[in-house]
Amino acid sequence: MTKRFAFILCCAIFCASAASAAGKQAAQSCPPDFAAKIPEIIESLSSGAGWNAMPPEKKAELFRENALNALAGKGCSADRAARSYPAQAQLIFSRELELHQSAFAYGQRARAEFYMGGEDNINKALADLEKAINLRNDDDDSPWYRGRAMIYLSLNKYREAVADAGKALKLHPEDMESRRIRADAYAKLDNYAKAADDMAYYFKHVNCPVCAEGASESSACKALAEHNKDVTGCKNLNYFTNKKRRTKSSFR
């Protein structure tokens, strides 16, 4: 099983190199005994007025907010925690799920597990995304389909990636990252016509210059260039050929 994993969100990218770096950063920047803080947070919240009468989902949200603030400062988002402090974020979302099971918490725990890296954690991430999709108590399942599609793509399960990206696009046709993921999977399946259609749509509608620049060098664009499929927005074959030469020379 490949160790190279990516979970791309527009302008907030999950990637294998970041997974390793983020894990090291978490170990260096966050106290290793953060797990001990979680019972303290629960104890502090439960002693407050109204806690016992609070609905489970509200308790979970309040706990998450306080735990993320304790982890990385006021206003720390779930996405940022999963990216920068994956091991600690996994603990937070696990405790949140004990208070209330939601697709959001399962999905965010999957992100943290993704960033932690390793085969076991990737399998846990897939299982959590499955739970997020099946639970369906959130308004939008498309991020979880998109995330699972990207995992499948990284694991060379291209048909599964096409299927999940398609489900995300059915919910949100303007989800540019799902379209890009599907294009990469189509290219791996040698379906260059559909890959070209997806990339052409992507470049026409994406509203993120940084994302578009990154996509211009995607595996789909490279495959299309190598098979003489010109798509406006993709780098041309000369670019990829020269890039390969530059890469080789850098290792001399």
Confidence of residue 23 (pLDDT cuts 50, 70, 90): very low
pLDDT digits (tens, 9 = 90+) for 167-223: 999 999 999 999 999 999 999 999 999 999 999 999 999 999 999 999 999 999 999
CATH of domain 7-207: 1.25.40.10
pLDDT digits (tens, 9 = 90+) for 97-150: 999 999 999 999 999 998 898 999 999 999 999 999 988 755 577 889 999 998
- Kindly state the helix (H) or strand (E) to which residue 9 belongs, with its residue range: strand 7-9
- Beta-bridged to residue 7, according to DSSP, are 14
Which of these, 101, 152, 100, lies nearest to 126 by C-alpha position? 152
What SS3 class is residue 97? helix
pLDDT of 11 reads 36
pLDDT of 56 reads 95
